[in-house]
Amino acid sequence: MSLKSERRGIHVDQSELLCKKGCGYYGNPAWQGFCSKCWREEYHKARQKQIQEDWELAERLQREEEEAFASSQSGPGTQSLTFSKFEEKKTNEKTRKVTTVKKFFSASSRVGSKKAEIQEAKAPSPSINRQASIETDRVSKEFIEFLKTFHKTGQEIYKQTKMFLETMHYKRDLSIEEQSECTQDFYQNVAERMQTRGKVPSERVEKIMDQIEKYIMTRLYKYVFCPETTDDEKKDLAIQKRIRALHWVTPQMLCVPVNEEISEVSDMVVKAITDIIEMDSKRVPRDKLACITKCSKHIFNAIKITKNEPASADDFLPTLIYIVLKGNPPRLQSNIQYITRFCNPSRLMAGEDGYYFTNLCCAVAFIEKLDAQSLNLSQEDFDRYMSGQTSPRKQESENWSPDACLGVKQMYKNLDLLSQLNERQERIMSEAKKLEKDLIEWTDGIAKEVQDIVEKYPLEIKPPNQSLAAIDSENVENDKLPPPLQPQVYAG
């Protein structure tokens, strides 16, 4: 699913939100762009392929072992009762192994698919019945009261639901994906049974499925939300750290068409942030979806008030990204995964809940991959903002409304001044380091040149010569030379 950042905002083609198989339902990044139905079909194909490969591997290994054992015998007469017992033992072992593999990968978790499993599920589960919380008791009473209006159909639904909860108790050792598949199979089986056998209208089926989801997920919540066997918690910490590092992102960088200086718009933004944070306090996937939907509607209202016209999809997504960055919802990835795994698939595949949830998944994916180009920044500025060395300049004082608090104005002015001083300090330090580097290079260069000259023209120091004699010392005995001149004194 591609996300593009343009000058007019972050744009996502609405067709990219749909299932990539072309069925017309909304896709989900957690399902590789498929809708719930198509994803399950692809998952079953992959699983059946794995089962076939495991079966072929088991048969090949068994055949190789039998051939190796037969070749190790000394003669044909030795293939007696001992080999027969060995062959019987290996055949039983092979059957047991293959059955175990098939049981692990097969869709035996479907409620009502096997009588033996149903009989096993009827055993009472002490963990389900012991000391239920106040909320669980309340939801149970509401569920029973709701089903009383359906008489016989309600009794059958309650029986199937209790049986499903008992079955899930014995499947807690399975992976969370397999538990999710069990839940999705249960949703599908119950809905199909009501439509085909009970002849229940579609509208009532949706209401019943909502109550079933509320009842079973309230009981299963503590076992299936962010289980230790997954990396959901690791993803939560990663996205939280990522959002904290992006605290400097401004609405202008995302081209968010929301003016928070308008008091009504500011209230809508606060409500949207509150709703997206409140999502973590809900237990039922449908309630978590409701929080996302309320948050999205507040966003649309904020955009409408700011622009004085209805908001478009190109306006909604960047604003939702901004709300997520500003709110930093707790356990964001765990909540998205929980909704994906255990929500009634009909809600995620169509309707406004599915649309808003798909956009939230797109917003999280955009935040995870956000870079300098997405915000129309240079790589240097983006790296400096991410490292905390500096931050984008705040609003100038002349842009503030007349009613703004003077203390807030002065605070932002001081922050802007500190930011400028910090930039100047960084420039000075950079120039000083550059000058120091130049001086070191110049000194090294001079020393190298002197060394080269000394090596090329070596200096030889000779011992001093003997003192020279007077010029006339060698001509003392030479009579031919005239006598030395004598000074003459003239009087007068």
Is residue 109 one of the residues assigned to a domain? Answer: no
Taken as a whole, the chain contains a residue count of: 492
Q: Give the mean model confidence (pLDDT) for residues 289-316.
A: 93
Contact 348, 357 (CB under 8 A): yes
Residue 10's H or E segment, with its range, is strand 9-11
Q: How far is it, in rounded angstroms, from Cα 114 to Cα 397?
A: 73
Q: Is the pLDDT of residue 355 over 60?
A: yes
Report which of residues 16 and 227 the model is more confident about: 227
Q: How far is it, in rounded angstroms, from Cα 320 to Cα 294?
A: 12
- Domain span holding position 165: 134-224
Is residue 115 one of the residues assigned to a domain? Answer: no
Average the pLDDT over each of 10-19, 304-313, 410-419, 483-492 and give the range with the smallest value. Answer: 10-19
Number of domains in the chain: 4
Is residue 101 one of the residues assigned to a domain? Answer: no
Contact 220, 165 (CB under 8 A): yes
Q: Give the mean model confidence (pLDDT) for residues 216-243.
A: 93
Q: Give the mean model confidence (pLDDT) for residues 101-129.
A: 42
Q: How far is it, in rounded angstroms, from Cα 371 to Cα 134?
A: 47
Q: Which of 365, 342, 80 shows the shortest CA–CA distance to 221?
A: 342
Residues 373 and 239 in one domain: yes
Question: Looking at the DSSP assignment, which residues form a beta bridge with residue 10?
Answer: 5
Q: Is the pLDDT of residue 97 over 60?
A: no
Residue 149: pLDDT band by 50, 70, 90 thresholds? confident
Task: Specify the 3-state DSSP secondary structure of 389.
Answer: coil
Is residue 379 one of the residues assigned to a domain? Answer: yes
Residues 303 and 162 in one domain: no
Question: Looking at the DSSP assignment, which residues form a beta bridge with residue 26?
Answer: 18
Is residue 354 one of the residues assigned to a domain? Answer: yes
Is residue 207 one of the residues assigned to a domain? Answer: yes
Name the domain boundary from 224, 243, 261. Answer: 224
CATH for 290: 1.20.1050.80
pLDDT attached to residue 290: 95
**pTM for this one?**
0.61
Average the pLDDT over each of 173-177, 237-241, 258-262, 471-475 and give the range with the smallest value. Answer: 471-475
The tokens for 383 are 């790296």
Q: Is the pLDDT of residue 471 over 60?
A: no
Q: Which of 381, 349, 360 shows the shortest CA–CA distance to 272?
A: 360
Q: Which of 254, 306, 253, 286 shows the shortest CA–CA distance to 353?
A: 286
The tokens for 84 are 């027969």
Question: Looking at the DSSP assignment, which residues form a beta bridge with residue 4?
Answer: 11
Is residue 357 one of the residues assigned to a domain? Answer: yes
Q: Give the mean model confidence (pLDDT) for residues 27-48.
A: 64
pLDDT attached to residue 129: 43
Q: How far is it, in rounded angstroms, from Cα 433 to Cα 441?
A: 12
Report which of residues 80 and 269 the model is more confident about: 269
Residues 152 and 171 in one domain: yes
Name the domain boundary from 170, 202, 224. Answer: 224
The sign of the torsion formed by the CA atoms of 92, 93, 94, 95 equals positive
pLDDT attached to residue 179: 94
Q: Which residues contact 182 (CB under 8 A, 6 or more apart)?
A: 109, 110, 111, 167, 168, 171, 174
Q: Is the pLDDT of residue 472 over 80?
A: no
- Alpha-helical (H) ranges within 72-133 are 81-105, 115-121, 126-129
Residue/partner pairs of 38-47 with CB below 8 Å, 24 or more apart: 40/181, 40/184, 43/181, 44/107, 47/105
Question: Which amino acid does the sequence have at 288?
Answer: K
Residues 269 and 363 in one domain: yes
pLDDT digits (tens, 9 = 90+) for 445-460: 999 999 888 888 887 7
Residues 53 and 167 in one domain: no
Contact 346, 209 (CB under 8 A): yes
Percentage with pLDDT > 90 across the chain: 40
Name the domain boundary from 65, 89, 109. Answer: 65
pLDDT attached to residue 348: 85
Is residue 90 one of the residues assigned to a domain? Answer: no
CB burial string 329-364: b at 16+ within 10 A, e below:
bebbbbbbbbbbbbbbbbbbbeeebbbbbbbbbbbb
Percentage with pLDDT > 70 across the chain: 71
CB atoms within 10 A of CB 88: 10
**Averaged confidence pLDDT in the chain:** 79
Q: How far is it, in rounded angstroms, from Cα 143 to Cα 208?
A: 9
CB atoms within 10 A of CB 258: 25
Tell me whether residue 105 is exposed, middle or buried, using C-beta atoms within 10 angstroms of its C-beta: 0 to 12, 13 to 18, 19 or more: middle
Residues 269 and 371 in one domain: yes
CATH for 169: 1.10.246.120
pLDDT attached to residue 165: 94
Residues 362 and 410 in one domain: no
Residues 197 and 55 in one domain: no
Q: How far is it, in rounded angstroms, from Cα 231 to Cα 397?
A: 46
Q: Which residues contact 247 (CB under 8 A, 6 or more apart)?
A: 325
